[in-house]
Amino acid sequence: MDPFADRLANLVRERRSPVLVGLDPRFERLPGELTAAVTSGDAKAQADAYRRFCEGIIDVVASLVAAVKPQLAFFEQLGPAGMDALHATVRYARQRGLLVILDGKRNDIGSTAIGYADAYLGAESAWGGDALTVSPYLGQDSLAPFAEVAVERGAGIFVLVKTSNPGGADFQDLVAGNETLYRHVARHVEELAARSTSASGYGAVGAVVGATYPDQLAELRQLMPHAWLLVPGFGTQGGTAEDVAAAFDADGLGALINASRSIIFAYDRPEYKDRFGADRWQSAVETATREMIGQLGKFASMRDE
């Protein structure tokens, strides 16, 4: 398996799109055709609706973007049936040629971190992810096993550095030794990334940096030149194309801009509601994805090659 960073770079270039579509199913927001026959409290039927919803999104975006990002919380919320749906969704996305970044924000002490890394990273792993999001609070010896397994298996990780929520500042912005905590974490991420670079110039270890803090995004792009950035917070959370411009490198590469609700529930957005409605929810997903790719095009220069 080629390194994750290179597979990602190739697909982003090929599809001319830095958009990362988040798969965040929430039962009450699914189109009626998927939920009409589902009894409240029937986790199996709900999970099946999640799977069909995600597969429907994947069918639409498979030719438009490089990767999808299932949010594990929403699958876990349905118990074992939800996990079956997650497993099926990952397989389906890979079959359709998409990379799958599992958003689980996992971590634990070293010997247990190996368990998580083994569970999620690589085509042959139990869940078959291409990459996993990882939380850094437990320190460097908790990140090392993920980095090692990722390199071995041609997979990747994205370490939380500066998150998109308002509370992200509470601890991440504390200043220790003249530097914020998020910069301390970022320096370590860059070390791990630089150590694992491949043809694309990027490493197996990337970083999560929110679109809602544009100044920090620019600062962190500079600080981590070898790290792919996963940038949440675009769309529903308020981040704009201008806000994320600084996430890209000089070639318009190096960043995935994530949108979840604004794409997957696009049929319910005021500007699309009359045009599509719930029946044509997949057309709304396609239009919202293409619109976002268009908005980012002027900043992500591979659109203009």
Residues that bind a second copy (CB under 8 A): 24, 43, 71, 73-74, 76-80, 82-84, 87, 103, 105-110, 112-113, 115-116, 118-120, 126-127, 135-142, 160, 163-172, 174-177, 181, 184-185, 188, 232
Smaller CB distance to a second copy: residue 102 or 227? 102
Closest CA to 206 of 289, 146, 125: 146
Smaller CB distance to a second copy: residue 95 or 165? 165
Nearest distance, CB of residue 297 and a second copy, angstroms: 27
Nearest distance, CB of residue 181 and a second copy, angstroms: 6
Smaller CB distance to a second copy: residue 146 or 202? 146
User: Cα torsion for 96, 151, 73, 51, to the nearest 10°?
Assistant: 20
Nearest distance, CB of residue 268 and a second copy, angstroms: 16
Smaller CB distance to a second copy: residue 81 or 151? 81
For the chain, how many residues are written? Answer: 305
Nearest distance, CB of residue 3 and a second copy, angstroms: 23
Distances (CA, A) of 212 to 68, 121, 145, 165, 204: 21, 28, 30, 8, 25
Smaller CB distance to a second copy: residue 125 or 295? 125
Nearest distance, CB of residue 135 and a second copy, angstroms: 5
Nearest distance, CB of residue 12 and a second copy, angstroms: 25
Annotated active-site residue in 44, 69, 105, 273: 105
Smaller CB distance to a second copy: residue 24 or 286? 24
105 a catalytic residue: yes
Integer Cα distance of 104 and 265 in angstroms: 21
The token duo for 10 is 């190739």
SS (H, E, C) 46-111: HHHHHHHHHHHHHHHHCCCCCEEEEEHHHHHCCCHHHHHHHHHHHHHHHHCCCEEEEEEEECCCHH
Residues taking part in catalysis:
105
